[in-house]
Structures are given as C-alpha cells and as structure tokens.
Structure 1
Amino acid sequence: MPGPTVGSDGDQTLPLRPQEVAAETPQPAAPFATATVITLGSLVALGPLTTDLYLPALPDLTADLHSTAPAAQLTLTGSLIGMVIGQLLFGPLSDRLGRRRPMLAGLVAYTVASALCAFAGSMPVLVAGRVLQGVAGSAALVIARAVVRDRLEGTAMIRFMATMGLISGLAPIVAPLAGAQLLRVTDWRGTFVALVVLGAALTAACAFGVRETLPPERRHGGGLGTTVRAIGGLLRDRVFLGYLLTSTFAFGALFAYVGGSSVVLQDVYRISSQTYSLVFAVNSVALLAATQLNGRFLVQRCSERTLLVSGLAVAALAGASVVLCTTVWDTGLAGVWPALTLLMASMGVILPSANGQALTMAPHAAGSASALLGTGTFLCGAVVAPLSSLGGHPSATVLGAVVLGCALLALASFLALCRRG
C-alpha cells in the first residue's frame, strides 16, 4: 500500500490506496480535448526525439568534428545532464507560477538551443548546446506529466499516460528512421535544424492549445524554502522513494541501450545507419505495444506489484541474455537483437506503472514529484549512457552487463521499499 501523500509544503497526510484515491476523486473519461492530448503526447515525445533523432549521425558528426566515439557520446550525456538540471528548475517553478508560463519559456529556449547545436563548430560547443537543449526541453517533459496529474488520479492517470504514450511512443520509432533519411539529403546538422522546427511548432501548439490546469488557489506562494521542504517531504517518504529508485534504475537500463546501441550495433556488428534505424524502430514498436497492453489491459487485471516485479524480471533476463549471447554462445546480432527487443518491451510495463504510482502520492506537489522522477531517471541515464564504450571501444557485453545491473537494482529497490504495510 502506498505511503502518505505529500503536500506542497512537505507535510504528509494519511495513506490512501490508489483505488481509494481514484474512487474519491471525480475522473472524467475525456479530461482533455483530442488536440490537447496530441500536444501533451508530443511534449513527452520531445525527450526521445531530442536523444534519438541524431543517433544514426553519431559516427558522421564524430568524423566531421575530428573527435572520438566516447566524446561524441558526451553529446547524449550532456543532454541528459541538462534535463536533470532543467526538471529541478521547471518542476517546482510550475507549482508556483502555474503550468503554461514555464512551459512556453522552456520551449522557446529549446528552439534557440537547437539552433546553437546545428551551427556548432566543435565538439565542446556541441556538448554545451546539448546541455542547454536538455535544460530547456525538460520543461515540456516535466510539466506535461504535472498537467495530467492536475486532472487525474490513480489507475485513470496510468491509463491516460498510456494514451499519451501511444503518441509519444512513436518518437523512438520515427526519430532514428527520420534521422537516417535526413542523412540522405543533408548532414548531421540537418537533424538539429529539424529540432528547431519542432521546437517552434510545439511552442505555437502550446500557446494556442494548452490551457492552465493549476488554478492560483492550488499554487504555493513560498520561495526556495517551500520548494526544498516539498522535495524533502517526498524523499523522506519510504514508498515514494522506492518508486523513484525503481523508475530511476529502470530508466538507466533503458538508456544503456539508447546510449550504447548506435555505436555497438554499427561499430561491432557493422550494420549501416539505415539498418540500425530499422532495428531501433522494431524495438521501439515493442515498447509501444507493451505500453498500450499495460494501460488498456494489464492494469485492470493484475496488481501493481505483479506488473512491476514481472517487468523488472524480464528486463534483467534481457540483460543477462545479451551477456550470454556475447560471451558463451557467440550468437552475433541474431541473439543480441531479440534480447534488446525484450528489454524495450519490459519498459512499457515498468515505467508507466512506477511513475504513475509515484505521482499518485503527490497530489499537491505534482511539479516537484515529476521533477524528482525526471531528475533521477535522466541522471542515471547520463551516467550509464557512455558505459558501453568504456576503454574507448564499444562492447555489447558491457552493454548487457549494465542493463542487467540496473534492472537488478530497480528490482531490489522496489522489493525493499515498496512493500505493503
């Protein structure tokens, strides 16, 4: 059973089961217009689009900027670090000022940062631009989740996140395919020009299509002290911390794949950027299908504990399979690819469930809770993304070991901290 819910001032109330919260709170079947659902899904998709669109171009930009593979992967790490910083900024800020203004400011800054990346003349400048891009783009991710939390609770929220996931889940499918096709007509800089256009389009869509969901009476008027107390109250709650760590380490497993798959599959298994985009797309379809299965079917028939334990066990199995396929059986890509597909499918169960349960516990501090979830996940992702190239050489075995380690840490966190009673 979840622990106490945490208010905007860090105080805790008596614990409620998600089913009890859902029963006590009116939950309209269609709380948002269709256009708003599409916009919110696109905002959540901005994160994977930012990380995935340019992945097929990593080898090309490395050569063009006269750099190395580990240095090129720092462009991904830099973006993730920026998202960590930005979510800690925009999440609590949206609890104070409302959702619209911080969201629009972040999207404008994201568009400018994307232009800086497109015209970067050296790897350090590109990394700096990616950090700024991550800081600004995080506003879309953290505030979109908070907007949903403003309107829904419990199981209804998880189901709506699955609906948003249907849209945002297209991002990791479309992004590498689009990036590979862009490379046919332009160079790596063109992928960042595409992000400039996307940022401008989302800014316009939010300006005209997303209404304020946090009325003034529900905002907290305190300064830094109130924000710190709210975050501290969340972190002191054992069960919230358990879901936070579960989501964090699971996301680490995901980003071990996202950060390492490009160099591992292209450099180790010698596949082309177009073939890599196909592999990435197939794996992303598995993620999308599992997310929809979870939101529309599994959450109605299985307990949250069963779903999370099963998903985490499958993720660990996927990591172990990659290690075995590269050290014991030597199956090549034929063994590694299905294991990575299995990993992506498990994330469609783990991440919506863990994030939804955590947000359910913070009805009056949704921005801060969303910021902590995003901070933990992207910080872990920033650490693990370059690990597959330790020693200067990409390794599928190391990639599998990192996935396995992160999955086991997530499972241990859930079992130890999210126990009933």
Structure 2
Amino acid sequence: MRATPESRSFRAVGVAGLLVCCTVLGLAGTDLVLPAVPGLPDYLGGSIAQAQFVLATFAAGTGIGLLLFGELGSFLDHRKMLVSSLLAYGFLSGAAAMAPNLELLIALRFLQGVAASCAAVVTPGMVRALFDEQGALRALGALGSIESLAPAIAPIIGVWLLSAYGWSASFWVTAMLAVGLSVLVAVSGRYVPAVSGNPSRLGYWLLVRNAVFQRYALSQGLSLGSLLAFVFAMPTVYVVAFGGEIQQFIVMQLLGISTYIVAANLSSRLVRRFGAERTIYGGSILAFGGSILMLAYGLLGGREPWVIWALFLPFNMGFGFRGPPGFYRSLQASDGDDARASALVILYVMLITAAATALISPFVASGLWPAALAACLLGALSLVILPLLPALPEDT
C-alpha cells in the first residue's frame, strides 16, 4: 500500500522530532549537570577549581568532536554515525555516573563531549532532506528555537534530579535517553534520510585561510564564548561564593534565555532596517556593555541576585541581536561549505568557552568579578576583530 502525502508528511515530522531530540540531548550534556557542579567536591573529593573542569572538558571534547564528525561525515553514512555516537554517549554517561573520583569524571566528560557533538553535525542536513525548501526552513527554525530553550529547561530538571536522587542522576538519565534514542534511530532507519557530505582533500584548510569567514566565525565564537563562560561559572558563584541557592542561577537562566529568544526573533527586522553589519556591531556593543556593568558591580563587591539578573539581560539581548546575522554571514562567507563552516564556528565557541572556564576556575569561588572579567575580555576581542578583517558586501 502506497503512502499518502499526508502520511508522508506526518512521518517526516515524526522523524524530524526524533532528530531534534538527539540534538537537544547532546546540548543538555552541560546544562543538566550544571546544578551539581558546586557540590561535586563534597561527593567525589577534589576542589572547586577541579569541579569547573567537568564543564570545561565537556566543551573541549565537543569542539574536537565537531571537527572529527564534520570530516567523517564527508565519507560515512550519517545515520550510522548518529546511532554509533548516541550509543557511545550513553555508555560514557553511565560510566561517568559511576566515577569514584573527580579526576576520572573529568576524563570521561571529555569523551562524553566528543560523542555528544555528532548530532549537532549530522541532524540539520537530515532534517533539511526530509522536507521541501519551505518546509525545511520552518523545520530548521523550529530546531533552533527548541535548542535555545534547552539551556533554560535542562538546569531546572537538573536541580530536581540532584535534590531527589543525587549528583549522578543526571548522568544516568542521559545514559538511558541516549541508548533509547540510538535504538529508535536504528529501527527508523528506512525513514531517516541517508545523507553524506562531499569529500574534499583541503577540508577545513580553505576556511582557515578565508579571512572573511574568519572575521565572522571568530567574532561569533568570542561573543557566544563570553556568555557561556559566564554562565558556566555562575552556579558556583551563587552557591559557594555567595552562600546562596542554585534556584538563583535558574532564575538568571530563565530570564537570560527568554531575553535571547525575543532579541533573536527581532534580529531579522533589525537587519532589514539597518543592515547586517550594523546589527552585528550594535549587538556586540550591547553585550559588551552588559559585561562591563557586571564587572563593575562585581569589583564593588555586589552580590544581590536581582541586580545580577538585571545586568544579565543586556548581555543576552546583545547576543540575540548579533548572533543570527553573525552566524548566517559566516555561512555565506564559506563558499558553499556550510557543514564545515558550521562545525568550525561551533568549534571556536566550545574551545573559547573551555579555555575561559579553565582559566578562571581557580578564582571562581572568589565572587562575581572573575566570570565578569572573562566575559569582558572575550566581548572586547569579539568587537576588535570586526574592523581588522574584511567583511562581506552589505548586500550579499
């Protein structure tokens, strides 16, 4: 019996939903764990500084994985890559849940990050192949919206898991979900598009040499990296430095993500009115201004949660304005190599976040200023790069 157009459409939506779940689970590898980080030294030994490496190594592993799977995707079936990586992610998460000390957990988190990154590389192409052009645009837009909600929702679930079942619960939940999703993708194989990339001997080297691409990619990586490095530090700042509650961090995240979503949806209107370059510059300046105010408040010894929440809003609003056009123009500058360009931009984000998180880890329990200082420096660099490297023509 032949499938009707309605049944094919319903099936495509179902497969797209499954692929979105795979991507979101990879993103949640950090946000589910965030609430448990301040207390890890109490459970596993070690120091607060070491506990921050639980976040830094996952980000670093994700960056390496993006490069690895971006290259492997040029030769291998993306369905097999996704199933294998989800299985690996599940088993590594289970191993992390049983880690007897912080050192082993840190090492496993790096491998976890590598495995978790595959979905972000392969699912956009699969989702696009499920629909026609207009349907693909709607589906990819929905994918982006759902992904932006993950950093707000996952920490709330992480807090509940931590309070109800202990620090390892988020790892066990991730393990079960990853294995379950791998099975679902495997049994749905005939309906999941068989996508593979185009091999190129030069690969990433062409993008590394492309000054226009580097302008947008590095600025995007530094801008988002400044935001993520600040967010990664704040659970420890609230709980350890301020003696507060993890719920204060959750409120900050909810406000920040809500502001980002609103700003990102307004971004296209700003581009139409002012142009992409002015929107990128304006958003970068707004985010940098927010980080300067946060640093000033931290240096003055400020610790009121409501003040931090308020200062966090322009930070997120600025990136919401500049993020979409910055990422889109990096793809435009890639000369058609969208998959590698996407992987390289996210690589920059992850490596910059990992480096900043590691560098401030010895000081993160001292208060607000180390995280705010890292955000300021990265935000300043994201602005400095823009006039130094060549831009695309405004009407491109």
Residue 365 of structure 1: CA displacement?
Answer: 3.2
Structure 1 equivalent of residue 47 of structure 2: 68
Aligned mate of 1:324, from 274, 296, 303: 296
1:16-415 equivalence runs, <5 A: 33-147=12-126, 161-207=140-186, 208=188, 211-212=192-193, 214=195, 219-220=198-199, 226=201, 229-294=202-267, 297-328=269-300, 330=302, 332-362=304-334, 364-391=336-363, 393-415=365-387
Q: SS of the residue aligned with 1:95?
A: coil
Q: What is the Cα deviation at residue 333 of structure 1?
A: 2.8
User: Bigger CA drift: 88-97 or 264-273?
Assistant: 264-273
- In 2, the alpha carbon distance for the partners of 1:412 and 1:270 equals 37
Gaps of 5+ in 2: 1-8
Change over 3 Å in CA distance of 1:383–1:401 after alignment to 2: same
Q: Please tell me the residue identity of whatever aligns with 1:71.
A: Q
The code of the aligned residue for 1:230 comes to G
Separation in structure 2 between the aligned mates of residue 346 and residue 159 of structure 1, nearest angstrom: 24
> 1:39 and 1:346, CA in 2 relative to 1: closer, same or farther beyond 3 A?
farther
Conservation of the 8 A alpha-carbon contact between 1:387 and 1:399: no
Q: Which stretch of the first structure deviates more once superposed, 256-265 or 268-277? A: 268-277
The 8 Å contact of residues 95 and 368 in structure 1, kept in 2 or not, is answered as no
1:14-45 CA distances to partner (integer Å, 9 max, x unpaired)? xxxxxxxxxxxxxxxx9x94334434443443
Distance 1:253 1:170, change over 3 A: same
Q: Aligned with 1:307: secondary structure?
A: helix
The change in CA–CA distance for 1:98 and 1:369 in structure 2 (over 3 A counts) is farther
TM-score w.r.t. the length of structure 2 is 0.86
Shift of 1:182: 1.2
1:155 shift after superposition: 12
| TM-score normalised by structure 1 residue count | 0.82
Contact between 1:85 and 1:135, CA under 8 Å: does it hold in 2? yes
d(CA) in 2 for partners of 1:278, 1:337: 8
Compared CA separation, residues 113 and 302, structure 1 to 2 (3 A): farther
Provide the secondary structure at the position in 1 that maps to 2:45: coil
1:3 corresponds in structure 2 to: none
Provide the C-alpha distance between the structure 1 equivalents of 2:245 and 2:300, rounded to a whole number of angstroms.
26
SS at match of 1:390: coil
Q: Classify 1:273/1:96 alpha carbon distance in 2 versus 1 (closer, same or farther; 3 Å).
A: same
Percent identity of paired positions between Structure 1 and Structure 2: 25
State the number of aligned residues: 383
Tell me the amino acid that sits aligned with residue 61 of structure 1.
Answer: L
Deviations, residues 298-330 of structure 1 (Å, cap 9, x unaligned): 455442212211211111011101012123484
CA distance in 2, matches of 1:301, 1:163: 24
For 1:110-139, what per-residue CA distance to the aligned partner results, in whole angstroms no more than 9, with x for missing partners?
Answer: 111111111111111111110111010010
Rounded to whole Å, the distance in 2 between the matches of 1:347 and 1:37 is: 27
Shift of 1:387: 3.9
1:212 partner letter: P
Q: 1:157 to 1:322 in 2, by over 3 A?
A: farther
CA RMSD of aligned residues (A): 3.0
| CA apart distance, 1:379 | 0.7
Report the Cα distance in structure 1 between the residues aligned to 2:383 and 2:144, rounded to whole angstroms. 23
> What is the identity, as a one-letter code, of the residue corresponding to 1:315?
A
CA distance in 2, matches of 1:407, 1:156: 36
Aligned-pair distance for 1:252? 1.6
Question: Taking structure 1 as reference, are residues 284 and 270 closer, same or farther at Cα in structure 2, changes over 3 Å only?
Answer: farther
CA 1:124–1:183 in structure 2 vs 1: closer, same or farther (change >3 Å)? same
Question: Retained in 2: the 8 A contact 1:258–1:385?
Answer: no
Partner SS for 1:121: coil
Distance 1:111 1:320 in 2: 40
Distance 1:62 1:158 in 2: 45
CA-CA distance at 1:173 after TM superposition: 1.2
Listed one character per residue, the Cα deviations across residues 380-400 of structure 1 (whole Å, up to 9, x for unaligned) are 111012344434733311211
